[in-house]
Amino acid sequence: MSLTHIVETFFDIDRPAYRTTEEWIRFRHKFFHEYTLPALLNQKYGDFRILVHCGTRNEALTRRLEWHGAVRTCHDYGRMFYGAIASDVAITRIDSDDLLREDAMAAVHAAVRANPRAKAFAFKQNLCWDMINGIIFDHIRGSTPFVTRVWPAAVVRDWNRFRGLHFRAHGGDGLGDRGALELPRRMVLVTKHGQNTNLLKRRKAHPVLTAQEKAGLKAYHDDGKVWKVGWRTIDPVEIAAIVRRFAVDDRRIP
């Protein structure tokens, strides 16, 4: 089948009860270009397009920012972008501060080709990098936003239908879709850097752990919930080896 792969991320999309600040936008833009985008450009399978969704409240600012030439930004949920595509599309969703391992898109492409009747694929068990405390651990949650959905060209061309089906709430497109086929593990690196939206919305600071707390970490507090921590490492050498596969060189490790 004719298929266009797209990696889609939401940058400063408008939220009903929360407004991003100029400081946050500039921080996230810099972070995206220093971490998330290099991981995308480093993919072994590179035949995909990168779409960044921006909101309208801060449109003047996001249009002034300098974006890499490989990135397409939009302020209309991609209506014109998707309207210009004639093929079926496979849309892989990530956050604008998370990283894909070098072979992640190759895994997506292989899974889609091997399962032509499947409509959803998900990275369900991933890694989390607490950059402030120097920890990487297994990021296992009940739902995941790291989903690839395959849409027929006829649906994508019907904009109102496509927008209603595709642009669901953050959690609604994860394992709420229990039929998603699982993609290989540890191919997404979720980052915790102190400017995560879930903290800012609650006016909280990222916790700084003691050496004892890091060594005995059993649970991680995130987004108002507590997640069990299984495997984890605080070894700087091991952390460096892991993040290199996500296109992070030693100079970018805090």
- Residue 173: pLDDT band (50, 70, 90) is very low
Question: What was the pLDDT predicted at 244?
Answer: 98
Contact 228, 128 (CB under 8 A): no
Judged against a pLDDT cut of 50, whether residue 19 lies above it is answered with: yes
pLDDT, tens digit (0-9, with 9 covering 90-100), for 52-97: 999 999 999 999 999 999 999 999 999 999 999 999 999 999 999 9
Out of 126-130, 145-149, 154-158, 199-203, pick the least confident: 199-203
Average pLDDT (243-252) is 97
Q: What is the pLDDT of residue 85?
A: 96
53 in Cβ contact with 9 (< 8 Å): yes
Separation between Cα atoms, residue 86 and residue 84, nearest integer Å: 6
Q: Is the pLDDT of residue 172 over 70?
A: no
Kindly report the pTM of this predicted structure.
0.93
Instruction: Please report which confidence band the pLDDT of residue 177 belongs to, taking 50, 70 and 90 as the band edges.
Output: low
Confidence band (pLDDT; 50, 70, 90) for 254?
Answer: very high
- Domains along the sequence of the chain with CATH: 3-252 (3.90.550)
pLDDT for 56: 92
Please give the mean pLDDT across all residues of the chain. 90
191 forms bridges with which residues in the sheet? Answer: 129
5: nearest Cα among 76, 93, 65, 64: 93
Q: What is the mean pLDDT of residues 212-238?
A: 85
- % the chain with pLDDT above 90: 72
